[in-house]
Amino acid sequence: MKKLIEDALREINEDLESKELENITDETPIFEILDSMAILDLILELESRLQKKYGKYIQIADETIMDSKKTPFKTFKALQQFLEGKLDG
């Protein structure tokens, strides 16, 4: 899962060219770095990669995604845990 997220972030960073996304750690504050368009972009990228890997559509977006307090995109680690939970669910 870690590599899948890293690859998705690298893909969207080709257009963004954010220096903060060049060295990703567990604490990388994704929601802080990305604007709302890039968040949507990342969701589409992740959903498409998850579908390719697991053979089913997994919806990532819900009403917490754009909520700065509740978003699962706060840090890289939080996103990884959120997606692992989605797969288990």
Partner 1 sequence: MAKIHFKDIKISAIATTTGDKKVTIEEEADNFGYDEKMVKRLKKRMGFNSRYIVSDKICTSDLSIQSTEVIFEKFDKDDVEALIFVTQTPDYKAPSTAIIMADRLGLGTDIVAYDINLGCSGFINGLLNAYSLLNSGLKKVLLCVGDVASNFAYYKDKNLTPLMGDAGSAILIEKKEGFNADFVLHSDGGGYKHLMISDGGCRNPFSKESLKEKEFEDGIRRGVDMYMNGGEIFNFTIKVVPKMFDELFKYAKVSKEDIDYFVLHQANKYILQNIAKKLEIGEDKLPMNTMTIYGNQNSASIPGTINGFLYDKFRDRKKVLFAGFGIGLSWGACIVDFEDVYLPKSQTYKAKDEK
Instruction: List residues binding partner 1 (CB under 8 A).
Output: 12, 15-17, 36-37, 40-41, 43-44, 47, 51, 57, 59, 61-67
Taking the complex as a whole, how short is the minimal distance between the CB of residue 65 and partner 1, in angstroms? 7
Give the nearer residue to partner 1 in terms of CB position, either 5 or 12: 12
In 10 A of CB 59, how many CB atoms? Answer: 9
- We find the least distance from the C-beta atom of residue 37 to partner 1, in angstroms, to be 6
Burial of 79 (0-12, 13-18, 19+ CB in 10 A): buried
Are 64 and 72 in contact by the 8 Å Cβ rule? The answer is yes
Closer CB to partner 1, 25 or 35, in the complex: 35
- State the Cα–Cα distance between residues 85 and 54, nearest whole angstrom: 14
CB nearer partner 1, residue 36 or residue 81: 36
